[in-house]
Structure 1
């Protein structure tokens, strides 16, 4: 079994090393390992390879004014359809504003992006199909 080097290991708060398995599908046939095997990798022939696992962020609770705005604009379903990281990022971003005016401006941007459907934090985004 191949493990990530000490420099690549991720350590969580308790000091425990976190690893996630990397499957054969994540190895490109253009990688050195893929070229050695003629570009064809049989997943069953590979041992599990471990790489660092990303640490999870704290989940932010949804403020009441955000919930009310989603209901009022009929965007709750579109909000729930977004990936967890996007929903969490929006809530953290809105809640981190110190002024009420800034919170409202950020909430308006989130609602607009949800309504458009192909934008996340002013970047082009589309769902995986």
Structure 2
């Protein structure tokens, strides 16, 4: 995760989802549950996978999830998606989560992870990603 080593780290990829966690999304200390954050990352990546596959898709794997710092309630959260690889029917996407705390001047990276999706048809069977998107 080289973005933390840079003098001015910036997100990689396209801003795909932006949301603010509410008190119901947190533990008693006010930190956002990791499961809530993974859900938002999955939604963001599935949105991009849907554009690539031009239809339905399903999550088949999540890999290399690292949580670098806590996420506080009320922070502005952005999920940035970056295409890593597109196969015949699968799509591998990197998702980075950045936050801007209410009192912070600069955004900070919270986590990143790899998500793999497969394009599916209306019956839930694997189908090919359109050729022009591979």
Which structure's residues are more often strand, by fraction? 2
TM-score category of the 2 structures, normalised to the smaller one:
under 0.3
Give the TM-score of the pair, scaled to structure 2. Answer: 0.23
Question: Larger relative contact order (C-alpha < 8 A, sep ≥ 6)?
Answer: 2
Greater Rg over alpha carbons, structure: 1
Which structure's residues are more often helix, by fraction? 1
Give the TM-score of the pair, scaled to structure 1. Answer: 0.24
